[in-house]
Chain A
Amino acid sequence: MAIIEVTDLRKSYGQLSVLEGVSFSVAEGEIFGILGPNGAGKTTTVECVEGLRKPDGGTIRVLGLDPATDGRALREQVGVQLQHTQLPDTIKVWEALDLYAAFYSRPRDWRELLEQWGLADKRNARFGKLSGGQKQRLFIALALIGNPRVAFLDELTTGLDPQARRTTWELIKQVRDSGVTVVLVSHFMDEVEELCDRVAVVDRGRVVALDTPAGLVDGLDAAHEIRFTLMAACDPVALLADLPGVAEVTVTADRVVVSGRGDFATAVTAQLARHHVLVSDLRIDKRTLDDAFVALTGRSL
Chain B
Amino acid sequence: MTALTKLATVEVKLLAREPGSIVSMLIPLFVLLVFGSSIQPGDTTLLPMTLAMSVGLVGLYLLPTTLASYRERGILRRMSTTPVRPYTLLVVQLTLQLVLVVIACALLVSVAGSVIGAHVPGAALPLAAALTLGVAAMFSVGLLIAALAKTGRSANGVGVLLYFPMAYLAGLIQPVDQMPALVARIGEYTPLGAFRQVLGQVWTGQSPSLTLLVVLAGYAVLIGTAAAKFFRWE
Contact = CB atoms under 8 A, between A and B. Distances in A.
Interface of A: 50-52, 72, 75-76, 78, 80, 82, 84-88, 90-91, 95, 98-100, 102-105, 142, 146
A94 B157 CA distance: 32
Contacts, number: 62
A43 to B, nearest CB: 12
A113 to B, nearest CB: 15
Contact of A90 (B5, B17, B78): B17
Contacts of A105: 83
B23 interface: no
A76 B69 CA distance: 26
A87 B81 contact: no
Given A82-B74, A85-B78, 15 more contacts: A50-B81, A76-B83, A80-B78, A85-B73, A86-B73, A86-B74, A88-B69, A88-B75, A90-B17, A95-B13, A98-B6, A99-B10, A102-B3, A103-B82, A146-B83
Interface of B: 2-3, 5-7, 10, 13-14, 17-18, 69-70, 73-75, 77-84
Given A52-B77, A85-B78, A90 B83 contact: no
Contacts of A84: 74
B18 A82 contact: no
Contacts of A86: 73-75
B83 A85 contact: no
A109 B79 CA distance: 19
Contacts of B5: 102
A50 B81 CA distance: 7
A91 B89 CA distance: 15
B83 A87 contact: no
6 contacts: A85-B74, A87-B73, A88-B14, A102-B2, A103-B83, A104-B83
A75 B77 contact: no
